[in-house]
Amino acid sequence: MSFFNVKALAVATATSAAALFSTAAHAVEIEYWQYFFDARVQAMETLIGNFQEANPDITVKMTHFPYADYRTKVAAAIPAGEGPDVVQLFYGWLNDYVAADLIQPLPADVFPASKIDEEFFPMVQAMKDGDAYWALPTAVRSLALFYNERLLEEAGVEPPTTMDEMIAAAKAMTKRDGAGNLTQVGMTAGMTAQDHHWWREGLIRQFGGEPYVDDYQTVNYNSDAGLEALNFYASLFSGDDAVSAIGFMDEPQAAFKAGRAGMHIDGSFRIGSLNNTRGLKWGVTELPATADGTRSNYSSYWVNAITTKAEGEKYDAAVKFMEYVTSDEAMQVWLDVVGELPAKPSVGLTDANSNDPVFGPFIKGLAYANTTKFANESGQRQLMVEMVERMTLQGMSAEESLAIAAEAEQKILDEYYNSASN
Amino acid sequence: MYRNLTIRQKQIVWAWAFLAIPILFYSVIRFYPTGNAILISFQDWNLLGDRTWTGFDNYQKLFGDPVFWKVFKNTFVYLLIGTPLSLIISFVIAYHLDQVRFMHGFLRMLYFLPFMTSAVAMAWVWRWFYQPVPVGLFNNALAGIGIPQFPFLQSTTWALPSVLAPAVWAGLGFQVIIFMAGLRAIPRSYYEAARIDGVSWWTVLWEITLPLLKPTIVFIVVFSSIGFLRIFDHVFNMTTNNPGGPLNSTKPLVLMIYETAFSAFDMGYAAAQTVVLFLVLLVVSLIQLRILRDS
């Protein structure tokens, strides 16, 4: 190699290095955290790809953790200045995150409260504090009634629209062996799955009650409506003509997937795993209405927020990223990939989406859905599980068991709101 | 300075130099977190916010909590059934296995296999065994011969023994091996002398074998007691949808600590429970060592 070539090479190396450094100086890398759920990670990868294409000077690095470790890691990382710039959290955790100074409000010029109030489904307003929103969802979830098409056909019944029809259909699909053991249930039951939401925000309201008052700080279901709702629910799995059994095939979704359950109430997030179940032909319809047509549903959602760690150019990049993940385009991607419903009626209630045979029933459910504000979701669910167990295992009356559950839940709420106000 | 030390002093310096590593390790990994847990048990902390000092509030709440007393009782039921049961079964197996020559190695391997299996996998398999018809192996067999189903995990009475059974089975292999080692260590000459004297089988067992196995028994009792007091993985995996259920009838203390800490995020309360567990383990181990020590 001649001297000139070496020199040329050196110059070339120096320029390309300079070019590298200059892009590095402009590029901002922000970090995004969510918990691990295959479809959500895939959807976010698509969104990040689209976002980076539109904003070549920003890179987004996604990190995900198993759900069980999520909160611990976030709590440890952000105060140490390590963790994410944009973080995903469950709507029920917002108070804790705000109190711990982990997240900052979204800038009012980019996310004006009045515009968000208008554009998003009303339950999102739980994320608002005065004139500012703390966090926004890409997608929301609601419940619907899944049914096994083959079993319905075999029993000669139609997908039910009212509770009476649902019970009749369930009876037609229930099978027992010679000894009277259930071998196929008309519908699944179990407070451990989504039934506690159906009972709280669905059945109680449909029977004319209101499960909580004072912004979910006071339990209000120890009432006639609550009792009627509990009796209706318990009738599914008690008595000789029960159409269900608690713990049948270990868990409700397993029984439905195995084709041993005619109907199953579950969230929109179940769609993906049912689609992957070979040999299962299923359909879905809105949660059953009462005879007079009253409907009620439960919805929940995960939100994204900007953490207190994001400052300067990272903050600006984080705002841009938040803008994108709450855009109409992002919501459609999330619906197509994850099966979770768009958080804006303008995207969700398009004709194509609300008439979709799979997503339609969930999207229609959003119109009459309520969002429970939990203090400790698993603790509060456990009380519903035990309310039913006291009746099935210890023969306690519904009145007594309901009263115990209401008192215990009030205690959880009191402890949570009293210590939060300190 | 080092040069001026005597050989004895030099040896001491070196001993401490080597000991420094485990001491450092223990202080950072063991003693510091232990001390911190005791501190947190007097505080209110949700893992995210600031810690606030609450004095004995967590302990007062604990002693007034009916779930805690239920769980406390369960923990001792696991201990008081699990330890003697596994001790007797493993001794009987080891005693007879020791006298078997035919396929000795293979049989020993069969007993040891469950100990090597992951507790999580084993718990799930047993969970499926226990299911009602149409999935559960046991109930399908019962239904097949016309006997009513048995509510293994769905009864407040039978759930705890049902969870305990695989836990005992899983620990057997280890205890059998330890017992066999103990049996082999007893000098043959004692047995030969006994045979010459024409002593009965029972007397040999009671006067020679068991007394000489005492160190082995102490080890196994302490070891398995600590195991049963800390039981978690079998219970949690067999009852994941309703942890420690039905109606807290299978919930051990460790599971309650886990739930308080990582679903309710009440770290102070969880730390108070941990301190109680620590004291229980300490007291039980001390009592056992004292009772079973050579007098």
Q: Cα separation of A351 and A338, whole Å?
A: 20
- pLDDT value of residue A71: 79
Report the C-alpha dihedral over residues B285, B286, B290, B292, rounded to 10 degrees: 0
| Pairing mode of beta strands A212-213, A136-148 | unpaired
The answer to whether A68 contacts B134, with C-beta atoms less than 8 Å apart, is no
- Residue B55 belongs to a domain: no
Structure tokens at A222: 């120890």
Low-confidence ranges of chain A (pLDDT < 50): 1-4, 6, 9, 11-25, 421-422
B203 CB near a chain A CB, below 8 Å?
Answer: no
- How many domains in chain B? 1
Q: How far is B47 from chain A (nearest CA, A)?
A: 7
A324 SS3 class:
helix
Q: What is the Cα–Cα distance from A383 to B263, expressed in whole angstroms?
A: 14
**Is the residue at B4 inside a domain?**
no
Beta-ladder partners of A285: A145
Taking an 8 Å cut-off on Cβ atoms, the answer to whether A376 and B264 are in contact is yes
What are the start-end ranges of the E strands in B40-135? 43-44, 52-53
Cβ contacts (< 8 Å) between A71 and chain B: which residues? Answer: 47-48, 265
Q: Per the structure block, which two tokens stand in for A338?
A: 């994850």
Which residue in A97, A99, A386 is closest to B247 by CB distance?
Answer: A386
Count CB-CB contacts under 10 A for residue B166: 21
Query: Which one-letter DSSP state was computed for residue A127?
Result: G
Domain containing residue B171 = 61-292
Gap between the Cα atoms of A109 and A324, Å rounded: 15
Report the C-alpha gap between B227 and B79 in whole angstroms.
8
* B37 closest CA partner among B229, B256, B198, B276: B276
Considering the entire predicted model, what is its pTM? 0.85
Q: How far apart are CA A356 and CA A367, in angstroms?
A: 16
Predicted confidence at residue A26, as pLDDT, reads 63
- B134/A246 CB distance under 8 A: no
Q: Is B188 inside a domain boundary?
A: yes
Structure confidence at residue A377 (pLDDT): 84
The answer to whether position B44 is within a domain reads: no
Judge whether A365 and A379 are in contact, CB under 8 Å: no
- Which of B45, B57, B242, B265 is most worth mutating to test chain A (most A CB atoms within 10 A of its CB)? B242
Chain B residues with CB inside 8 Å of A251's CB?
Answer: 241
Asked whether the CA dihedral A247, A250, A254, A256 is positive or negative, the reply is: negative
CB contact under 8 A, A96 and B133: no
Which residues in chain A are closer than 8 Å to B129, comparing Cβ atoms? none
Q: How far apart are the C-alpha atoms of A404 and B265, rounded to whole Å?
A: 23
Amino acid identity of residue B75, one-letter, is T
A11 to chain B, closest Cα gap in Å:
52
Could you report the predicted ipTM of this complex, rounded to two decimals? 0.85
Instruction: Report if residue B103 sits inside a domain.
Output: yes
Interface A–B counts its CB contacts (< 8 A) at: 84
With respect to residue B77, please indicate whether it lies within any of the assigned structural domains: yes
Q: Which two tokens stand for residue B90?
A: 């493993």
In angstroms, the CA A134 to CA A136 distance is 7
Cβ contact, residue pair B46, A96, below 8 Å: yes
pLDDT of residue B187: 93
Q: Are the C-beta atoms of B84 and B217 separated by less than 8 Å? A: no
Amino acid identity for residue B156 in this structure: T
Does A176 contact B at CB distance below 8 Å? no
Distance CA B94, CA B181 (A): 9
Distances (CA, A) of A351 to A141, A204, A330, A355, A361: 19, 31, 18, 6, 13
> Are residues B154 and A247, on separate chains, in Cβ contact within 8 Å?
yes
Do A373 and A215 touch, CB atoms closer than 8 A? yes
For residue B32, give the 3-state DSSP assignment: helix
The C-alpha atoms of residue A55 and residue A2 are separated, in whole angstroms, by 43
Q: What is the pLDDT of residue B49?
A: 75
Contact between chains at A72 and B247 (C-beta distance less than 8 A)? no
CATH code of residue B142: 1.10.3720.10
Q: What whole-number distance in Å separates Cα of residue A192 and Cα of residue A180?
A: 25
Give the DSSP per-residue string, B153-176: SSSTTTHHHHHHHHHHHHHHHHHH
Q: What is the DSSP letter of A289?
A: B
With CB atoms and an 8 Å threshold, state whether A96 touches B265.
yes
Minimum Cα–Cα distance from A183: chain B residue: B134
State pLDDT tens for residues A215-255: 899 999 999 999 999 999 999 999 888 999 998 998 999 99
Domains parsed from chain A with CATH numbers: 26-141+300-359 (3.40.190.10), 142-299+370-421 (3.40.190.10)
Residue B285 lies in a domain: yes
Q: A180: nearest CA in chain B?
A: B148
Closest approach of B115 to chain A, Cα-based (Å): 26
Instruction: Tell me the residue type at A136.
Output: L
What local confidence, expressed as pLDDT, does residue B3 receive? Answer: 83
In this complex, the residue of B48, B132, B247 whose CB is nearest that of residue A97 is: B48
- Chain B residues with CB-CB distance to A181 below 8 A: 132-134, 143, 149
Report CB contact under 8 Å: B154, A183. no
Smallest CA–CA distance, residue A230 to chain B, in Å, is 18
Predicted confidence pLDDT, tens digits, chain B (295 residues):
788 888 999 999 999 999 999 999 999 999 999 999 999 999 998 877 788 999 999 999 999 999 999 999 999 999 999 999 999 999 999 999 998 888 888 998 998 998 888 999 999 999 999 999 888 999 999 988 888 889 999 999 999 999 999 999 999 999 999 999 999 999 999 999 999 999 998 999 999 999 999 989 989 998 999 999 999 999 999 998 889 989 999 999 999 999 998 888 889 999 999 999 999 999 988 988 888 776 5
Find all residues with CB under 8 Å of B146, minimum gap 6, and list them.
A179
Nearest residue on chain A to B128, alpha-carbon basis: A250
Residue of A nearest to B127 (CA): A250
Model confidence pLDDT, tens digit, residues B91-119: 999 999 998 888 888 998 998 998 888 99
Q: In what helix (H) or strand (E) does residue B190 lie, and over which residues does it extend?
A: helix B188-197
Estimate to the nearest angstrom the gap between the alpha carbon of A415 and the chain centroid.
25
Beta strand B43-44 with B52-53 is: antiparallel
Of A99, A193, A379, the CB nearest to B263: A379
Residue of A100, A192, A245 with shortest CB distance to B49? A100
Q: Which of residues 223-282 of B touch A (CB under 8 A)?
A: 241-242, 245-248, 259, 262-265
- For residue B1, give both structure tokens: 């300075």
Q: Which residue of B has its CA nearest to A175?
A: B134
Residue B215 lies in a domain: yes
Range 114-143 of B in CB contact (< 8 A) with A = 127-128, 131-135, 143
* A 242-261 residues with CB < 8 A to B: 245-251, 260
> How do residues A163-195 score in pLDDT, each as one tens digit?
999 999 999 999 998 888 899 999 999 999 899
Contact B156 A246 (CB under 8 A): no
Cross-strand bridge partners of residue A284: A146
Residues of A in contact with B237 (CB under 8 A): none
Q: Enumerate residues 134 to 153 of chain A having a beta carbon within 8 A of any beta carbon in chain B.
A: none
SS3 A148: strand
How far apart CA B39 and CA B62 sit, in angstroms, is: 16
Structure token digits, residue A308: 């207190």
Residue A414 touches chain B, beta carbons under 8 Å: no
Nearest to B58 by CA among B261, B231, B248: B261
C-alpha A290/C-alpha A45 separation (Å) is 42
Chain A CB contacts of B49 under 8 Å are 96, 99-100
Q: Which of residues 77-116 of A touch B (CB under 8 A)?
A: 96-97, 99-100, 102
Closest by Cβ to A393, choosing from B134, B156, B259:
B156
Burial of A351 (0-12, 13-18, 19+ CB in 10 A): exposed
- Calculate the alpha carbon distances from B173 to B90, B112, B217, B232 in Å: 8, 4, 15, 19
